[in-house]
Every structure is written in structure tokens, then in C-alpha cells.
């Protein structure tokens, strides 16, 4: 495993994070086994959100933590807030009142007194950055959150938040995979813009790098917006051919190579994996043990459907 230094305490965090969006149908003991496996593989960072399973995913992790109290200090927990569903309507809410209530809800479900990182989940176009500052300052002062960050945001949104929020924006979690990388354009500048959730701004990686913001990539094995896994998919014959070849050269799985492709970006970056299977956690953790070279990086990029000018 490889590690980065994260946040105000320079916490040593694994470059592979285990995402827990898909655990709602698992039992607490199955989730505990998944977490223990991750820890054995060197993965010490875990990603949640208050909306995953409508709170159920956090509740399950809370049950695990209360039945195994020693576990809390071994794991770094991140959660996210800002997505609401009221009477069937989905919307985004960065108001002070909502953020403050959401943090308390997260702590209650997780049965913990603090989370290590809180991200604002998807950009609320109606955000008032002063209100975000008040909510975050209060939560940090109370020891409820350690670090603050954002998710699915383009550079201007982050600058707007930075204008008023005193806490550092430590991370930006964005959708990124070898088959879906609108934020990387290798010189064509065709992908500017954002649509309230999918960052297509072709300067976001460099912006994060320049501002020492950790990039966290989500859905690292998916194409489109949750359309499916590209590993082994006949929709991506060229990509699979290249991944399979490099995988056999490196002695890891094709999925691990696809994740190593993300981790190759030369600034602090983490890949959030979403598997619920123990054997896959072990297989994917190996992504951090290999390094693909520049030629392989561009080969995968083009095999994923991108063109170079
Ligand atoms: N910030 C955001 O807006 C945002 C959005 C979405 C997700 N996330 C975070 O990112 C995490 C990962 O997202 P994701 O679950 O979409 O990521 P992913 O790792 O790309 O996809 C995982 C899914 O692919 C399946 N899968 C099928 N074949 C696989 C293989 N060979 N290797 C690995 N998985 C395979 C897994 O099934 P099995 O479980 O059967 O292995 C699982 O259902 C989430 O848990 C969440 O924490 C954040």
C-alpha cells in the first residue's frame, strides 16, 4: 500500500479508500469482515455519505463500531452531506441549518463522537459560503469533524467556497476512471463545464494540484454515470485488451491496473473503491503496489476512448 499525508494532522492515509455506498444489504458482521480485510491490506480510509442507503450504510457501520470499540481508532472515517430527499424531491442544500443537522445525524448513526473528514457532496448552486463557514467552524470547534473538503466541484466553485470558509479545502472527490475521464483532455479543451455533479472541467486536476487539494476519484471501475463496470465489458474491447496485457506483465488483475492508472497522477490522489467483496478488496488493494509508466498511462487513456491531438 502507498500512503499520503492528509489534512491538518498530516494523517497517514492509504491511497486506496474503501467506499461504503453499496453496503446497505450487508449484515454488520459482513461489513466488519470487509473492514478488517481492508485493514489487513493496508487500507485505513473509509468513505460514507449520509444519503447512502438513506442513512442505512452509516447505521450499519455504527453497529460495527459499537460491537468492536477498538476499531474506531484504527480507521479514518469520511462522510458527506448536502444531498436531500424530501417527499420524493432530490435537491442540494448547503445552508448552515442543514449542514449542522446533517453532521449531528452522521455522528448519531455512526455512534462516534467525531468523523475525520466531512465533504460537501454535490454543488448547491444556491450556496452562501458564509453559512458554510459558520457551520464548519462550529463543527470543527466542537471536535465533531477534523478536516473539511468538497466533492464534485469545479475550480470556481471551490474558489467561491474558499473565499469565506476558513477551514482548508482538503479534498475534492470527483468521478474518474479509465473509461470516464472528462476532466482529463490532454490538450483538446473540449470538456469545460459542469452539470451539478459531474465535473467536466479540464483544469480540475491541475487546480487541485496547485492548491494542495487531495483528489479522490470515485467509481474508478465504472463507465458513464453508474452504467456498469468496464472490466470485462464487451463495450470496451480495446481498453480490456490493454489492461489484460499490463495486468499479466505486472502480476495483478486488470481492475488493479485500471486503479493504478488513476493513482499515477503525480499529486496526492486516492481511489475510492466500491466493492462489497472480500476477494476484490484484496485484489484491488494491489493497485497501490504497482506503478505504470508514462507510455502505459497514455496507452490506457487512448484505449479508454480518448484521442490525442
Ligand atoms: N462523491 C460522490 O458523488 C460519489 C458518487 C458515487 C460513489 N462515491 C464513492 O465512491 C465509492 C465507489 O463507487 P462505486 O461503487 O461506483 O465504485 P466502483 O469500485 O467503480 O464499483 C463497484 C461496483 O462494481 C462491482 N464490480 C463488478 N466487477 C468488479 C470488479 N472486477 N472489481 C471491482 N468491482 C466490481 C462491485 O460489485 P461487488 O460489490 O460484487 O464487488 C460494485 O457493485 C462509493 O462506495 C462511494 O464511497 C462517491
Q: What is the pLDDT of residues 45-80, one digit of tens each?
A: 999 999 999 999 999 999 999 999 999 999 999 999
Ligand 1 cavity residues, CB under 6 Å: 19-22, 47, 121, 151-152, 173, 218-222, 229, 231, 255, 272-277, 280
SS3 for the chain is CCEEEECCCCEEEECEEEECCCCCCCCHHHHHHHHHHHHHCCCCEEECCCCHHHHHHHHHHHHHHHHCHHHHHHCEEEEEECEEEECCEEEECCCHHHHHHHHHHHHHHHCCCCEEEEEECCCCCCCCHHHHHHHHHHHHHCCCEEEEEEECCCHHHHHHHHHHCCCCEEEEEEECECCECCCCCCCCCCCCCECCCCECCCCHHHHHHHCCCEEEEECCCEECCCCEECCCCCCCHHHHHHHHHHHHHHCCCHHHHHHHHHHCCCCCEEEEECCCCHHHHHHHHHHHHCCCCHHHHHHHHHHCCCCCC
Residue 80 CA to ligand 1 centre (angstroms): 16
* pLDDT tens digits, one per residue of 113-159: 999 999 999 999 999 999 999 999 999 999 999 999 999 999 999 99
75-104 tens-digit pLDDT: 999 999 999 999 999 999 999 999 999 999
Q: How far is the CA of 308 from the centre of ligand 1 (A)?
A: 28
Q: Identify the structural domains of the chain with CATH numbers, from first to last.
A: 3-303 (3.20.20.100)
Q: How confident is the model at residue 2 (pLDDT cuts 50, 70, 90)?
A: very high
pLDDT of residue 187: 52
Q: Residue with the nearest Cα to atom 17 of ligand 1?
A: 219
Residue-wise pLDDT tens digits, 234-279: 999 999 999 999 999 999 999 999 999 999 999 999 999 999 999 9
Confidence of residue 193 (pLDDT cuts 50, 70, 90): very low
pLDDT range class, residue 191, cuts 50, 70, 90: very low
The pTM of the full predicted model, rounded to 2 decimals, is: 0.95
> Given this model, what pLDDT does residue 200 score?
66
**pLDDT band at 306, cuts 50/70/90?**
confident
Please confirm, yes or no, whether 52 is among the known catalytic residues. Answer: yes
Has residue 40 got a pLDDT over 50?
yes
Among 52, 207, 223, 301, the active-site one is 52
Amino acid at each position: 500500500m502507498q500512503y499520503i499525508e492528509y489534512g491538518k494532522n498530516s494523517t497517514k492515509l492509504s491511497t486506496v479508500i474503501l467506499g461504503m455506498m453499496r453496503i446497505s444489504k450487508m449484515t454488520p458482521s459482513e461489513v466488519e469482515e470487509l473492514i478488517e480485510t481492508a485493514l489487513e491490506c493496508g487500507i485505513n480510509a473509509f468513505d460514507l455519505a449520509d444519503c447512502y442507503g438513506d442513512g442505512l450504510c452509516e447505521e450499519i457501520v455504527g453497529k460495527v463500531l459499537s460491537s468492536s470499540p477498538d476499531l474506531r481508532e484504527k480507521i479514518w472515517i469520511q462522510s458527506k452531506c448536502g444531498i436531500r430527499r424530501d417527499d420524493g424531491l432530490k435537491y442540494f442544500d448547503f445552508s448552515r441549518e442543514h449542514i449542522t443537522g446533517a453532521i449531528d445525524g452522521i455522528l448519531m448513526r455512526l455512534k462516534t463522537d467525531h468523523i475525520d473528514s466531512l465533504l460537501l457532496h454535490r454543488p448547491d448552486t444556491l450556496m452562501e459560503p458564509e453559512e458554510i463557514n459558520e457551520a464548519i467552524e462550529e463543527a470543527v470547534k466542537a471536535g465533531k469533524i477534523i478536516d473539511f473538503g468538497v466533492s464534485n466541484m469545479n475550480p470556481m466553485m471551490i474558489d467561491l467556497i474558499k473565499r469565506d470558509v476558513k477551514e482548508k479545502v482538503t479534498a475534492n472527490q470527483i468521478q474518474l476512471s479509465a473509461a470516464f475521464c472528462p476532466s482529463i483532455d490532454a490538450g483538446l479543451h473540449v470538456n469545460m463545464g459542469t452539470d451539478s455533479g459531474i465535473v467536466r472541467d479540464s483544469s480540475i486536476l491541475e487546480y487541485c494540484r496547485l492548491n494542495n487539494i487531495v483528489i479522490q476519484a470515485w467509481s474508478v471501475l465504472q463507465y458513464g454515470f453508474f452504467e456498469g463496470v468496464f472490466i470485462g465489458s464487451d463495450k470496451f474491447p480495446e481498453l480490456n485488451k490493454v489492461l489484460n496485457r499490463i495486468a499479466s506483465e505486472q502480476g495483478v488483475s486488470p481492475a488493479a491496473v485500471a486503479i493504478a492508472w488513476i493513482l499515477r497522477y503525480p499529486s496526492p490522489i486516492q481511489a475510492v473503491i466500491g466493492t462489497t467483496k472480500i476477494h476484490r478488496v484484496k485484489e484491488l488493494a494491489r493497485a497501490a503496489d504497482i506503478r505504470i509508466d508514462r507510455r502505459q498511462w497514455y496507452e490506457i487513456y487512448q484505449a479508454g476512448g480518448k484521442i490525442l491531438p
